[in-house]
Amino acid sequence: MKFIDEAKILVKAGDGGNGCISFRREKYVPRGGPNGGNGGKGGDVVLIADPGLSTLLDIQLKRNLMADRGAHGLGKDMHGRMGRDLVVRVPLGTVVRNEERTAVLADLTKIGERYVAAKGGDGGRGNMNFATSTNRAPRKATKGYPGEEKRLILELKLLADVGLVGRPNAGKSTLISRVSAARPKIADYPFTTLTPALGVVKWNPDNSFTMADIPGLIEGAHQGAGMGVRFLKHIERTRLFLHLLDMMDPEFKDPMKSYRMIDQELNAYSPKFKKRKRWVIFTKSDLLPDSKTLKKMKAAFAKKNIRTFTISAVTGEGVNDLVMALGKELQALKK
């Protein structure tokens, strides 16, 4: 299924039904009085968070979302039926913004969480409501109120505990495919990952966490360079960043430079990222001919209090240790 993380929609709640003007007419009842019923309330447009969805594609294909209108009132004191609500299912992590993007109206992060995007109009009152001691045969009824109509922007932000960041071809997709059921595209050329991937990682029999793979970042990503800027929003909710460094990358001669470049791009996109914990993961250890260089690099990061791991997602070396450490760290962060 195509990954769509933004949709512009028009929501229109149902109009309320009109009230009715009617009089009771029965044999031998000369003064039956008014019996016009009220109109029914219009249906609401309701967004509900569904964990079974992973894209806004269905909503983008049908951008005009309209609920039923309420039925008009009838005689014999019969009220019009209420319009049916239109329930629209959206993925977990959907943010609802106004058309101008100046306000966040809702952030649906819990299973089954609901947001009434547009409220249905109230029904009009029938003439039975206007009878008084001095006006026993009112010929007055009111029309139903119109339902709300809004233009909204839906924005999907993945809900992940761990975000994988790094240069193109750093091994992010290989790692997430190794530790979870996610199957992103893997190839030996840059930018094979064109959309974010989300995987669930089980680190012990009773606990798991989610991991997000973001397309590779290059210098200037926060300004639109490469693929990164469009998808950086999907790691805004993560608790911990794994910065993957490819030991076979020509730029690996100065890994601290590569680390700083990605770090600057993250912080330039959102100042909130400065507070997120970062770990450095040296990948493709199975291809490394010399371990002395690696020891020097690990020592350099240790001086900055940055925790490091060495793994090979292909052979599995160091992967289990990394997963266990992530699970314990996230458990501590939640507490």
Domain boundary among 156, 189, 223: 156
Q: Which pLDDT does position 290 carry in this prediction?
A: 65
**Structural domain boundaries enclosing 49:** 6-156
Query: What are the CA-CA distances from residue 141 to residues 24, 71, 74, 75, 291 (Å)?
Result: 16, 15, 11, 12, 87
Are 152 and 166 within one domain? no
Are 137 and 286 within one domain? no
Secondary structure of 109-135 as H, E, C letters? CCCCCEEEEECCCCCCCCHHHHCCCCC
Are 167 and 278 within one domain? yes
Dist. CA 116–CA 86, nearest whole Å: 10
pTM for this prediction: 0.75
- Give me the tens of pLDDT residue by residue for the chain, a chain 335 residues long: 456 778 999 999 999 999 999 998 877 777 778 999 999 999 999 999 998 887 888 888 888 999 999 999 999 889 999 999 999 999 888 999 999 989 999 999 999 999 999 999 999 999 999 988 888 889 999 999 999 999 999 988 877 888 888 877 777 888 888 888 766 554 444 444 556 777 888 888 888 888 888 776 655 444 444 445 567 777 778 888 898 888 776 665 677 777 888 888 788 877 778 788 889 998 877 776 567 777 888 888 888 888 999 888 888 888 899 999 999 888 888 76
Are 201 and 322 within one domain? yes
Query: What are the CA-CA distances from residue 260 to residues 24, 113, 254, 256, 266 (Å)?
Result: 82, 39, 10, 6, 10
Dist. CA 118–CA 65, nearest whole Å: 10
Are 85 and 35 within one domain? yes
- Domains: count for the chain: 2
| Any domain includes 208 | yes
| Structure confidence by residue, pLDDT tens digits, 160-208 | 888 888 877 777 888 888 888 766 554 444 444 556 777 888 888 888 8
79: CATH = 2.70.210.12
Domain boundary among 156, 180, 199: 156
* Residue 22 neighbours by CB distance under 10 Å: 21
290: CATH = 3.40.50.300
Are 182 and 266 within one domain? yes
Domain boundary among 156, 189, 211: 156
| Structure confidence by residue, pLDDT tens digits, 282-311 | 887 777 656 777 788 888 888 888 899 988
Are 301 and 228 within one domain? yes
Q: Which pLDDT does position 184 carry in this prediction?
A: 53
Amino acid code (one letter) for 174:
T
Are 172 and 107 within one domain? no
